Amino acid sequence: MPPADSHPDRPPRERHREPLDVHLILRRETAGGPEVLMSRRAGAVYAAGLWHLPSGHLDGPHEDVVTALLREAREETGVVISPADVRAAVTVHHRGPGGRSRTGFFFEVRRWRGDPRIAEPQVCDAMDWARLDALPVGTVAYCKAGLDAYASGARLAVHFQRPGDEIAYDPAADRLHLVPGVDIAPPPGRPRPGARDSAEPAAEGGRAPAPAGRAAPV
């Protein structure tokens, strides 16, 4: 007997599979407000000419999302990040204008070693810091959705674009939907995940990179 919700006009259902990707929110504090590192994509890649966070896909089932983030950060920007300094920011379920969906894990990092630089010039032709409330014109809509959700404090967001939408962010076609979360207090005596002493010294070599307003070195 077919499932109760089957329909002869619908294609047979199959287990849904989609890519997983990671996005690095490398954040520094300035007198003008928090800034994040952005890179402009170039060459024969998706969204060439547009601004995006350093990001990439998982290499395979052997790689978890944190390991993938550390690898992408090193490959794209040259910085070295300790797993202990990675913070979960927001997860975004995204669908592009072409109809393909993916899930993106956005992570915040405030401590790292090294100066951010263009480490893959074949796929990136510019890199700079941008204020969270003043992202560059030509930012990828998916990236903008993740950063807006992050800035709002949301932990989960849906960003399903429609056919005809642009890859670059268009305020007239903002498809971001924030999913409300829950706040569950941890059991007595157990700290919240990722909690640490605010007076903890920076890791060796860890520092904020270039002063506010200065581009990351090429």
Q: Note the pLDDT tens digit of each residue in 96-155.
A: 999 999 999 999 999 999 999 999 999 999 999 999 999 999 999 999 999 999 999 999
Question: Do 82 and 107 touch, CB atoms closer than 8 A?
Answer: no
Angle of CA points 152, 154, 155, to nearest 5°: 150
Name the nearest CA neighbour of 129 among 205, 210, 183, 63.
210
| pLDDT tens per residue, range 21-52 | 999 999 999 999 999 999 999 998 889 999 99
Distance CA 35, CA 28 (A): 5
Q: Are 113 and 203 in contact (CB under 8 A)?
A: yes
Ranges 38-42, 49-53, 85-89, 192-196: which has the least confidence: 192-196
Q: For 54-72, what is the mean pLDDT? A: 96
Domains and CATH numbers, the chain: 20-179 (3.90.79.10)
Total-model pTM = 0.81
